[in-house]
């Protein structure tokens, strides 16, 4: 029993006669002419022939067919050449896609050349070749193959089949061997191993196996150049990112915030971006300035009541003004309910969205920041390099994804250029404010054991600085510092925070409840957005000569 190549598929066409003349020169070049007489049923367009460039006995060799010439029924053939599987398979599709063949016999002649067909074996050479390719999808009624070699032929091994094989009759006369077979099933190769008494001619090789060709290509020097360019790209990206990074000033401890700005502005100056708790910090700051009152209801629902007049709102920082206007609490007795509902969440998210533009506009208008055209250009280069890296890796122009690596390396080095704050730089005045704001954050966040703060007679400063601690992301550290200095378990909430149940709530629990109310309202709105935008759905040994074909 002869085993065929796995994955046999039915092809209604038949190879009535297959003749091949293979001539191998002393330099290892194989020249082949295959004459294939097929018997076609109705509805077929032609045949296809493909070559596997891999040599199962040496994965550094590429057996690429060249000078391919094809005729059909004695005349010119319409041929479409392509590559498959990352340029491992060379494919010739023969026939007109707009016209089917008349049923009956059609003759195809395929000529080609392959370099490096002879492999070295000790002092001699060897041809290890599938003289009838293992992946012909059509059954073959008659196969006749003649192989001419450049020297005396040793003991020839000839087998039919894949895995479980049988011997075939290879007749040797001088430097020529002939093989004849009949009645071959689809995907049944004929393999010849023939020692030849000629010096090994040498073969062009690559230092990587063929599976890496889709990544590295087939040129060592091109791969080396691209790797060098990748290193250069990484360094250039890192240098561009380092030039955009501003050196930090000193942060001497400051016991009061900078004058004339609010907590979110201070955080923006320090981090070049607004904090995640910007909305909470702004509302607390407005309460501390006497512009609103926070009233707790049931189930962690809070009401924000406007208490300041329009003139008072105009005197505060632009971030606080923007939030007040967005929520409609910038006049006396105005109200906003953070009750966990979708409309409430939508309004809060809208208010949150006004903070970053307000902070950026203030930073540029006040002269704290200035635009940096060079940083903007560098960011565009990183974005462009990312696009080119995607093209190189996934669309593989020239069939080598390594082309994307230099661009990807530039992106890796320049990742900081995609962060916030790129495109603007602090002015000298901005750097001075950065130093003062950073020094104030240092005081708020540093443990009492390292940097003490005397609350004697100044307990009200704890609550006054809570909005700043929230904006700087160190509210817990500031609370712990208060407990360590005063011995009090928790500070009382300021007058603008009302529990709704009488008494004086502690500030920590009141802030937790308020932040939870804001978060639940925003989450309720975001849940409706995500739900509305989602949708449903539902072994024949080593050697060369690999390949095959069939009808189509």
What does the pLDDT average to over 65-94? 92
pLDDT digits (tens, 9 = 90+) for 341-388: 888 889 999 999 999 999 999 999 999 999 999 988 999 999 999 999
pLDDT reading at 525 higher than 90: no
pLDDT at 342: 86
**What per-residue confidence (pLDDT) applies to 537?**
38
pTM for the model? 0.72
Give per-residue pLDDT as tens, 474-524. 998 888 888 887 777 666 667 777 765 444 556 777 777 777 777 877 787
The candidate with the shortest Cα–Cα distance to 129, out of 190, 175, 78, 85, is 190
Nearest of 369, 367, 355 to residue 272 by alpha carbon: 369
Q: Are 107 and 74 in contact (CB under 8 A)?
A: yes
Radius of gyration for the chain, computed over Cα atoms and rounded to the nearest angstrom: 39
Query: What secondary structure letter does DSSP report for 403?
Result: G
Q: pLDDT value at position 299? A: 63
Residue pLDDT, tens place only, 145-195: 999 999 999 999 999 988 778 999 899 999 999 999 999 999 999 999 999
Distance of CA 164 to the CA centre of its chain: 44
Q: What is the pLDDT of residues 107-119, one digit of tens each?
A: 999 999 999 999 9
- Residue 8 predicted with pLDDT over 60: no
Residue 112 carries which DSSP code?
E
């Amino acid at each position: 029993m002869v085993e065929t190549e796995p994955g046999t598929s039915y092809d209604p066409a038949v190879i009535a006669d297959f003749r091949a003349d293979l001539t191998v020169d002393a330099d290892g070049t194989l020249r082949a002419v295959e004459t294939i007489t097929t018997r076609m049923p109705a509805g077929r367009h032609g045949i296809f022939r493909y070559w596997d460039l891999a040599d199962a006995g040496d994965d550094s060799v590429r057996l690429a067919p060249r000078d391919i010439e094809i005729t059909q029924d004695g005349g010119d053939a319409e041929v479409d050449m392509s590559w498959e599987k990352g340029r491992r398979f060379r494919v010739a599709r023969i026939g007109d896609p707009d016209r089917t063949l008349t049923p009956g016999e059609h003759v195809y002649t395929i000529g080609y050349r392959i370099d490096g067909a002879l492999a070295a074996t000790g002092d001699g050479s060897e041809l290890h070749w599938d003289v009838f390719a293992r992946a012909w999808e059509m059954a073959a009624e008659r196969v006749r193959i003649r192989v001419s070699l450049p020297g005396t032929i040793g003991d020839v091994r000839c087998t039919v089949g894949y895995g479980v094989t049988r011997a075939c009759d290879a007749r040797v006369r001088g430097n020529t061997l002939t093989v004849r077979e009949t009645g071959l099933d689809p995907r049944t190769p004929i393999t010849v191993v023939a020692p030849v008494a000629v010096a090994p001619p040498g073969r062009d090789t690559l230092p990587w196996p063929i599976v890496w060709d889709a990544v590295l290509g087939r040129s060592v020097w091109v791969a080396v150049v691209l790797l060098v360019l990748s290193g250069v790209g990484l360094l250039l990206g890192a240098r561009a990112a380092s030039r955009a990074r501003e050196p930090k000033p000193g942060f001497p401890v400051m016991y009061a915030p900078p004058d004339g700005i609010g907590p979110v502005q201070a955080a923006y100056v320090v981090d070049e971006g607004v904090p995640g708790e910007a909305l909470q910090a702004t509302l607390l700051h407005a309460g501390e300035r006497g512009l609103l009152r926070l009233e707790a209801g049931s189930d962690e629902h809070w009401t924000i009541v406007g208490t300041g007049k329009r003139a008072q709102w105009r005197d505060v920082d632009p971030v606080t003004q923007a939030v007040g206007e967005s929520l409609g609490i910038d006049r006396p007795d105005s109200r906003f309910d953070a009750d966990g509902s979708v409309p409430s969440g939508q309004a809060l998210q809208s208010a949150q969205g006004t903070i970053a533009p307000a902070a950026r506009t203030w930073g540029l208008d006040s002269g704290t920041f200035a635009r940096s055209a060079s940083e903007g250009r560098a960011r565009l280069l990183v974005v462009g390099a990312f696009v080119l890296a995607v093209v190189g890796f996934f669309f593989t122009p020239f069939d080598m994804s390594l082309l994307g690596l230099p661009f990807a390396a530039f992106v890796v080095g320049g990742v900081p250029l995609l962060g916030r704050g790129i495109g603007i730089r602090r002015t000298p005045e901005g750097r001075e404010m950065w130093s003062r704001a950073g020094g104030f954050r240092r005081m708020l966040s540093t443990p009492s054991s390292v940097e003490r703060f005397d609350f004697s007679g100044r307990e009200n400063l704890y609550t006054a600085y809570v909005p700043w601690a929230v904006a700087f992301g160190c509210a817990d550290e500031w609370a712990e510092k208060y407990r360590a200095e005063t011995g009090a378990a928790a500070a009382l909430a300021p007058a603008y925070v009302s529990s709704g149940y009488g008494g004086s709530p502690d500030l920590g629990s009141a802030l937790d409840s308020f932040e939870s109310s804001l978060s639940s309202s925003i989450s309720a709105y975001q849940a409706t957005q995500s739900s509305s935008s989602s949708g449903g759905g539902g072994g024949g040994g080593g050697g060369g000569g690999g390949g095959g074909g069939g009808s189509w």
